[in-house]
């Protein structure tokens, strides 16, 4: 068989590539992304929110949601164009979307649609201190899904090193609010959490890459996060025994006060001042003594040579 005949015979088989599993990427997403990948900038939606039009195809394909068609979450829209309205939105999503519309103003239905697949987790969030802040207190600067996980278009697994909730980035993600002075004052949050964590043994070890050092969610939980004054919080009173005990077997009541986010009390504070004073005092004495002795030795060697011998 000549090369040419082989090529002709094999050519029709090339269509098999289309059957390979790699482009699970939905056909419909392709249609939307044809435009949205190229579009830049924001427009004002009916609700008044500024909506970023750009969706980066490459990053979307790398996300865990790459196989979902756009209308899976953007229920308002139909497959083809923006003109025809989409299928009827289920009532539970509609009611949830109205509750979060102030927070998730660009497309509240899409923000509520997470619950279709992530029901259990979403319910936990809604009953958490973060969720109640949005549902009950009607605040817009609190955390909901995208504030911690980033855009749903580009979301990756938490175990993936790039995720904002990964071990590497989680503390910084929580710090966007918990290290923000305005938010701390507005919600009367514990004010020293970021510094106290990074100064602590936990924070230092995490920074160095210790594999078992805890991140925020290790002690405070992730989705069902609660105020430390909530009896259901893992860091409320005696719950700490169990929470610390996850890593520190046999954690008891005398051990658990070891880690707090409070500023050090007067004893450690002045204790450290005293230790620094001692260190500086000893340091001053030994440096002065060593230098003087060295100079005296040089002086003796240069000027008193003859007297010695």
Which residues lie near other proteins (CB under 8 A)?
Answer: 198, 201, 204-205, 207-213, 248-255, 257-259, 264-265, 267-268, 271-272, 275-276, 278-279, 282-283, 286-287, 289-290, 292-297, 299, 301
The smaller minimum CB distance to other proteins, of residues 8 and 258, is found at 258
User: From CA 36, how far away is CA 56, in angstroms rounded?
Assistant: 8
CB of residue 165 vs other proteins: minimum separation in angstroms? 21
Burial (CB count <10 Å: 0-12, 13-18, 19+), residue 165: buried
CB of residue 222 vs other proteins: minimum separation in angstroms? 23
The smaller minimum CB distance to other proteins, of residues 67 and 301, is found at 301
DSSP string, 211-265: TT---HHHHH-STT---TTSTTSTTSTTHHHHHHHTTSTT--TTTGGG--SSPP-
Phi and psi at residue 211, to the nearest 5°: -75, -20
The smaller minimum CB distance to other proteins, of residues 9 and 278, is found at 278
**What kind and span of H or E run contains 70?**
none
Report yes or no: 69 and 28 within 8 Å, Cβ to Cβ. yes
Tokens of 216: 């925020």
CB of residue 252 vs other proteins: minimum separation in angstroms? 6
CB of residue 265 vs other proteins: minimum separation in angstroms? 5
CB of residue 191 vs other proteins: minimum separation in angstroms? 17
Tokens of 305: 């040579």
The smaller minimum CB distance to other proteins, of residues 117 and 294, is found at 294
The smaller minimum CB distance to other proteins, of residues 82 and 289, is found at 289
Rg (CA), the chain: 30
The smaller minimum CB distance to other proteins, of residues 202 and 220, is found at 202
CB of residue 174 vs other proteins: minimum separation in angstroms? 18
Select from 162, 150, 100 the least CA-distant residue to 125: 100
The smaller minimum CB distance to other proteins, of residues 185 and 297, is found at 297
CB of residue 97 vs other proteins: minimum separation in angstroms? 43
Select from 215, 261, 251 the least CA-distant residue to 207: 215
The smaller minimum CB distance to other proteins, of residues 9 and 298, is found at 298
CB of residue 188 vs other proteins: minimum separation in angstroms? 22
User: From CA 248, how far away is CA 255, in angstroms rounded?
Assistant: 9
Q: What angle do CA 288, 293, 298 make, to 5 degrees?
A: 130
């Amino acid at each position: 068989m000549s090369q040419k005949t082989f090529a002709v015979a094999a050519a029709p088989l090339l269509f098999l590539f289309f059957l390979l599993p790699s482009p699970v990427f939905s056909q419909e997403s392709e249609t939307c992304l044809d435009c949205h990948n190229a579009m830049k900038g924001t427009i004002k939606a009916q609700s008044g929110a500024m909506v970023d039009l750009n969706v980066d195809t490459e990053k979307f394909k790398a996300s865990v949601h790459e196989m979902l068609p756009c209308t899976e979450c953007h229920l308002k829209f139909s497959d083809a164009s923006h003109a025809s309205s989409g299928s009827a939105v289920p009532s539970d999503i509609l009611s949830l979307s109205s509750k979060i519309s102030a927070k998730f103003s660009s497309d509240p239905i899409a923000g509520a649609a997470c619950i279709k697949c992530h029901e259990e987790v979403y319910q936990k969030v809604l009953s958490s201190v973060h969720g109640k802040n949005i549902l009950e207190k009607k605040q817009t600067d609190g955390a909901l899904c995208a504030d911690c996980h980033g855009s749903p278009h580009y979301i990756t697994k938490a175990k993936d090193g790039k995720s904002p909730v990964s071990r590497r980035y989680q503390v910084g993600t929580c710090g966007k609010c918990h290290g923000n002075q305005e938010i701390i004052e507005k919600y009367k949050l514990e004010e020293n959490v970021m510094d106290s964590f990074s100064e602590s043994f936990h924070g230092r070890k995490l920074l160095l890459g210790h594999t078992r050092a805890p991140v925020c969610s290790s002690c405070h939980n992730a989705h069902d996060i609660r105020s430390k004054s909530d009896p259901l919080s893992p860091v409320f009173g005696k719950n700490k025994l169990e929470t610390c005990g996850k890593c520190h077997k046999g954690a008891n009541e005398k051990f658990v006060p070891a880690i707090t986010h409070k500023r050090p009390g007067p004893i450690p504070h002045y204790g450290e001042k005293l230790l620094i004073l001692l260190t500086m005092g000893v340091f001053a004495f030994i440096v002065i003594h060593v230098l003087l002795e060295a100079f005296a030795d040089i002086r003796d060697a240069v000027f008193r040579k003859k007297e010695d011998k």
